[in-house]
Structure 1
Amino acid sequence: MAELTFGCTEAHAQRYAATPTLSFALTITESTGVRVHAIALRCQIRIEPHRRRYSADEARRLNDLFGETSRWAETVKPIQLATVSTMVKGFTSVTETELQVPCTYDLEVASARYLQGLDDGTIPLLLLFSGTVFVAKGESYSVQLIPWSSEASYRMPVRVWQDVVNEHFPGSAWLRCTRETLDALSVFKAEHALPTWDATLSALLAAARSAEASGAQAGPAPSAPAWRAGES
Structure 2
Amino acid sequence: MTGLGFSCLGVRADPYAAGPTLVFRLRITAEQGVRVHALLLHCQLRIEPARRPYGPGEELRLGVLFGERARWSNSLNPIQLAQVSLTVPGFTGEAEVDLMVPCTYDMDIAATRYFQALEDGEAPVLLLFSGTAFTGPGGFQVAPVPWDQEASCRLPVGVWQDMIEQHFPGCGWVRLPRDTMDALLEFRSRHGLPSWEATVRALLAGTAAR
User: Considering the TM-score relative to the shorter chain, is it more than 0.5?
Assistant: yes
Match for residue 113 of structure 1?
113
Corresponding letter in the other structure for 2:144? L
Inter-partner Cα distance in structure 2 for 1:161 and 1:149: 28
Matched, 1:15 2:15: yes
Query: Contact (CA 8 Å) 2:2, 2:145: kept in 1 or not?
Result: no
Q: Is the 8 A contact 1:2 1:32 kept in 2?
A: no
Question: What is the Cα deviation at residue 95 of structure 1?
Answer: 0.8
CA distance in 2, matches of 1:102, 1:114: 16
The Cα of 1:136 is off from its aligned counterpart by: 2.4
Counterpart position of 1:51: 51
Matched, 1:147 2:146: yes
Q: How far did residue 199 of structure 1 move? A: 3.0
Q: Which residue of 2 aligns with 1:91?
A: 91
Amino acid at match of 2:29: T
Change in Cα spacing, 1:55 to 1:208, as seen in structure 2 (3 Å) is: farther
Distance 2:8 2:83 in 1: 16
Shift of 1:32: 2.9
Task: Write the mapping of 1:210-221 to structure 2, written as runs, cut at 5 A.
Answer: none
How many residues matched? 210
Report how far residue 65 of structure 1 moved.
1.5
Larger radius of gyration: 1
Which residue identity lines up with residue 109 of structure 2 in the other structure?
A: V
Contact 1:3–1:32 (8 Å) recurs in 2: no
- In structure 1, C-alpha distance between the alignment counterparts of 2:182 and 2:142, rounded to whole Å: 57
Distance 2:60 2:202 in 1: 24
2:34 and 2:180 mapped to 1: Cα distance? 61
| Aligned counterparts of 1:176 and 1:77: Cα–Cα separation in 2 | 25
C-alpha distance in structure 2 between counterparts of 1:207 and 1:135, whole Å: 68
* TM-fit CA distance, 1:180: 3.2
Match of 1:167 in 2: 166
The Cα shift of 1:209 comes to 5.5
Whichever residue aligns with residue 18 of structure 1, its letter is A
- Matched residue SS, 1:62: helix
Q: TM-score, normalising length from structure 1?
A: 0.83
Q: Structure 2 vs 1, CA of residues 73 and 29 (structure 1 numbering), >3 Å: closer, same or farther?
A: same
> CA 1:76–1:202 in structure 2 vs 1: closer, same or farther (change >3 Å)?
farther
Instruction: Indicate yes or no: 2:31 matched with 1:31.
Output: yes
5+ long unaligned stretches in structure 1? 212-232
* CA distance in structure 1 between the partners assigned to 2:190 and 2:139 by the alignment: 73
TM superposition shift of 1:33? 2.1
Q: Indicate the larger mover: 33-42 or 178-187.
A: 178-187
Question: Bigger relative contact order, structure 1 or 2, given CA contacts below 8 A and separation 6+?
Answer: 2
* Counterparts in 2 of 1:187 and 1:142: CA distance versus 1, 3 Å: closer
Q: CA deviation at 1:167?
A: 1.8
Q: Which aligned pairs between 1:60-139 and structure 2 lie closer than 5 A?
A: 60-137=60-137, 139=138
1:78 deviates by: 0.4
CA distance in 1, matches of 2:92, 2:201: 59
For residues 132-151 of structure 1, give each alpha carbon's deviation from its aligned partner in whole angstroms, at most 9, with x where no partner exists.
Answer: 111122x2121111111100
Unpaired stretches in structure 2, ≥5 consecutive residues? none
What is the distance in 1 between the residues matched to 2:208 and 2:97? 52
Query: How many Å separate the matches in 2 of 1:208 and 1:134?
Result: 63
Residue 162 of structure 1 deviates from its aligned partner by 1.3
Question: How large is the RMSD of aligned CA atoms in angstroms?
Answer: 1.9
Offset at 1:195? Answer: 3.1
